[in-house]
Amino acid sequence: MRYGLIDPRTRQYDVVVADELPLSLVGLTNSETDHGAVAPRLMIVVYEYSLFVPPEKQSYFAIGRQLFGGVAVLYRVDKDGETIDFTWPIAPKVRWFADRAAVEREIEARLLDRPVMSISSGNEVRVFWQWPDPRPDIGPIIKGLV
């Protein structure tokens, strides 16, 4: 099976063949990853706390309007959610960022969405974290929901 590998430190975007999700090739482990979608049937795996790493210690890239920190693995799924070959001609465009200032310029230009964590209640949306703030303590937030 083919997978896409992204390393923003070196600005490398490669395709590899592996029997299973090649997390270890980029330094990820199953226990601290998040899986998400970057486009229909195009999935990404990243370090779950990558956007909480201080900006001066992190490397960034974007796919579409989404910001990501650190290394990543891309894979495709079929209509049933089964993993299929990652095909290079259909691979997304990756934008690299030199530093926090470059990310902020893209956000200010409205070319990139600022990552946020929020809670919706009725018509109200309460943002309790936004990039590049430090990782929030969600304990009090969760207690407020119960």
Same structural domain, 104 and 120:
no
Same structural domain, 134 and 71:
no
Measured from the Cβ of residue 2, the count of other Cβ atoms closer than 10 Å reads 15
Same structural domain, 74 and 27:
yes
Q: What is the mean pLDDT of residues 29-58?
A: 94
Q: What is the value of pTM for the model shown?
A: 0.89
Same structural domain, 29 and 12:
yes
Same structural domain, 23 and 80:
yes
**49-73: pLDDT as tens digits:** 999 999 999 999 999 999 999 999 9
Same structural domain, 124 and 76:
no
Same structural domain, 69 and 130:
no
**78-122: pLDDT as tens digits:** 999 999 988 766 678 999 999 999 999 999 999 999 999 988 878
Question: What total of structural domains would you count in the chain?
Answer: 2
Same structural domain, 128 and 71:
no
- Specify the pLDDT at position 89: 60
Residues spanned by the domain of 132: 116-145
